[in-house]
């Protein structure tokens, strides 16, 4: 995937004090895979000194972000229901 945006519509959130989403002003690059830990995780040094946005979802809120930016979601207490989707552009594909 060359470019991708994801969006989340929050339908039910039982605890707004947990489950915060952290998005860093740092996009993934192929060389970052040397810092990969496990299936999805990366060593925290990959986002050292990057600006960070943190938000707590609320019911009815829609959040859109570039999934190439490093991000993670804290564990959630209680229940959270969201509708999520993504749209992207594959390499070499364009509309003319």
Query: Distance between terminal CA atoms of the chain?
Result: 19
Per-residue pLDDT tens over the stretch 5-59:
999 999 999 888 899 999 999 999 999 999 999 988 999 999 999 999 999 989 9
Domain with 72 in it: 3-89
Q: Does 94 fall in a domain? A: no
Written as six digits, the tokens of 27 are: 């996009």
- As for how many domains the chain has, the answer is 1
> Does residue 66 surpass a pLDDT of 70?
yes
For 17, half-sphere exposure in the C-beta direction (CA atoms, 13 angstrom radius) is 0
Please indicate, yes or no, if residue 21 is contained in any of the structural domains.
Answer: yes
Residue 95 lies in a domain: no
Quickly count: other Cβ atoms within 10 Å of residue 62's Cβ: 11
């Amino acid at each position: 995937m060359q470019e991708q945006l994801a969006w989340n519509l929050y339908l039910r959130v039982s605890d707004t004090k947990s489950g915060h989403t952290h998005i860093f002003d740092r996009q993934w690059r192929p060389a970052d895979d040397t810092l990969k830990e496990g299936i999805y995780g990366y060593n925290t040094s990959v986002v050292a000194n990057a600006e960070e946005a943190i938000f707590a979802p609320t019911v009815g809120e829609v959040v859109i972000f570039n999934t190439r930016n490093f991000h993670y979601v804290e564990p959630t207490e209680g229940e959270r229901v969201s509708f999520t989707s993504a749209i992207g552009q594959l390499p070499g594909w364009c509309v003319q």
